[in-house]
Structure 1
Amino acid sequence: MTDLRLRRSVLYMPGSNQRALDKAKSLPADALILDLEDAVAPDAKETAREQVCAAVRSGGYGDRELIIRVNAPQTPYGEADLKAAIEAGPDAILMPKVSSPAVLENIADRLEALDAPPGIKVWAMIETPAAILNIAAIAAARRNAATRLTCFVLGTNDLAKDTWTQIVPGRAPMMPWLMTALAAARAEGLTILDGVFNDFSDVEGFREECRQARVLGFDGKTLIHPNQVEPANTCFAPTEAEVSIARKVIEAFERPENARRGAIQIEGRMFERQHIGMARRAVTWADVIAARGR
């Protein structure tokens, strides 16, 4: 079944910044990652944990999906983060440094031991060279329902750091890793989100990277600044032209005279029956976005 949660714009919010947590309630982001890890200094970890969990419990975020990114289990903060996150009850918990399926299996055991409600899902950060090398096995962990795995989040900054790769316009050095991760995610029915764009003052550069990510097949993009929300929402939504042709494809194949035809011509282009699924997806997402109103 298609997951109808919009994840065009997924904004990181530092858990140690109460003002940011409050502001997020009015931002048009599809989802919020309330961060206890990279965005929080060591001496602010406990404060961030308290503020993030209080924010999730108190609500006020409307239909925005709430995800808590915890610190890795092997850190001094990981276990306390996981326990507190489960008690707060977000939509998902984002696990950093998922470099093998064993990480997800261990988290599944912890979730069971801590009686985590079944509605809490698991997202996985794909941000190490080992994760790329093990990506098919990591994605296949979804077959074990206990892992609760639903989404991959690319950590492109960490990948660049660990591989000495330079992040350049067009991201040619990273393209094999991006597409390998995407193929693994699609093979197992996972959502996959592109990494962040660091220069939030470069609006056109950000739009171009969003357009690239959508062409590559990503569901959305992770963001570091509220100003990136609107461009991401626009870039990852089907255009009016795409929805218009999609409706025509569906209508054409549903006509009785086309019942046995494998391909038909519409507006000078050939469409095969396999395009019906793509057309229905575009129309469905357009309807979901229209119903949300943003």
Structure 2
Amino acid sequence: MLLRHARSLLFLPASNARAIAKARTLPCDMVILDLEDAVPDADKDAARAAAAEALAEGFGGRLGAVRINVEGTAWHGSEMVAVKASGADYVVLPKVENARKVRDVFSVCQKPVIAMIESAKGVLAAPAIAAGEGCAGLFMGNNDLRKDLGIPPSAGRMGLSHAMQAVVLAARGAGIAVFDGVFNRLDDETGLEAECAEGHALGFDGKTLIHPAQIPVANQVYGPDAQAVADARRLIAAATGGAERFEGRMIEAMHVAEAQALIARAEAVGQ
């Protein structure tokens, strides 16, 4: 699966063997084994070994990634070495504020990097980060970004809207994938659906998640609608080149390309 086709990207503590085993049965598109915030300091070494073991077994066709700790921590170097030797498809790097950090991790891990944008500096540097060597995608880190911007949690996402769109623009300008941040309220499916719809409307490819129960909603919102796929197939079949009328609207080459991309995404996720 191409990274841009992923709808649901699930963070799991790399130290939680039961959650990792369960992930192989879940309909998420990517499993992200977390060595950073989700793992206590005392468990970091064991979690690193567990992540390598889990990636060696694989996730049944799902993309696999590891979120490592940042430069300057005691675990950063050993985690990069472990990721290089692992079966990870991607390495997720938190708190990125410049392209150099991505380049350094890529040079050691030899795995494409997904950079987390979690601060004002990260948002402002997002175009350079996205275009830099080794960067395959961007994640919004909305919790930390909200804190950095001084936006209270009760304020919702209105204050983040400019930053979110700026990150999408940076990713699209570089031709890479971009994903919305996590939704914290585990028992609010209505709120999750609304936030997924908002992210989809802003141009995000999918959503990072923190609980398996959130996967179906993300897949439904970010997955191509069956009717839209059927419409796309009809459009491609009808197109003969140039501007022309199709079912009451004007289409041209751009619309054909959009239809082809939609069908490719649907086929990638088995729809």
TM range, smaller chain: over 0.9
Alignment check: 8 A CA contact 1:170 1:209 kept: no
Identify the residue that residue 269 of structure 2 maps to in structure 1: 289
Alignment check: 8 A CA contact 1:166 1:173 kept: no
Identify the residue that residue 271 of structure 1 maps to in structure 2: 251
Identify the residue that residue 144 of structure 1 maps to in structure 2: none
User: Could you say if the C-alpha distance between residues 220 and 169 of structure 1 is closer, same or farther in structure 2, counting changes exceeding 3 Å?
Assistant: farther
User: Could you say if the C-alpha distance between residues 47 and 4 of structure 1 is closer, same or farther in structure 2, counting changes exceeding 3 Å?
Assistant: closer
Alignment check: 8 A CA contact 2:229 2:262 kept: yes
Alignment check: 8 A CA contact 2:8 2:206 kept: yes
Q: Post-superposition shift, 1:170?
A: 6.3
Moved more, 45-54 or 228-237: 45-54
Identify the residue that residue 127 of structure 2 maps to in structure 1: 136
SS at match of 1:39: coil
Moved over 4 A (4+): 167-170
1:206 aligns with 2:192: yes
Q: Post-superposition shift, 1:169?
A: 7.6
Partners of 1:73 and 1:54 lie apart in 2 by: 24
Alignment check: 8 A CA contact 1:14 1:35 kept: yes
Q: 1:124 aligns with which of 102, 108, 115?
A: 115
Identify the residue that residue 152 of structure 1 maps to in structure 2: 138
User: Could you say if the C-alpha distance between residues 5 and 100 of structure 1 is closer, same or farther in structure 2, counting changes exceeding 3 Å?
Assistant: closer
Identify the residue that residue 210 of structure 2 maps to in structure 1: 224
* TM-score, length-scaled by structure 1: 0.87
The one-letter amino acid paired with 1:29 is: C
Q: 1:186 aligns with which of 172, 194, 201?
A: 172
Q: Post-superposition shift, 1:213?
A: 1.1
CA RMSD in angstroms comes to 1.8
The one-letter amino acid paired with 2:220 is: T
Q: Post-superposition shift, 1:221?
A: 0.3
Partners of 2:3 and 2:235 lie apart in 1 by: 21
Greater gyration radius: 1
Partners of 1:22 and 1:252 lie apart in 2 by: 46
Alignment check: 8 A CA contact 1:124 1:151 kept: yes
Structure 2 residues not aligned, in runs of 5+: none
- What per-residue deviation string (whole Å, max 9, x for no partner) do you get for residues 26-70 of structure 1? 1111001000001111111112111111111233x1101000000
Identify the residue that residue 39 of structure 2 maps to in structure 1: 40
Structure 1 residues not aligned, in runs of 5+: 142-146
- What per-residue deviation string (whole Å, max 9, x for no partner) do you get for residues 184-232 of structure 1? 1011111101000000110011011111111111110000000001111
SS at match of 1:125: strand
Partners of 2:253 and 2:213 lie apart in 1 by: 40
Partners of 1:54 and 1:165 lie apart in 2 by: 40
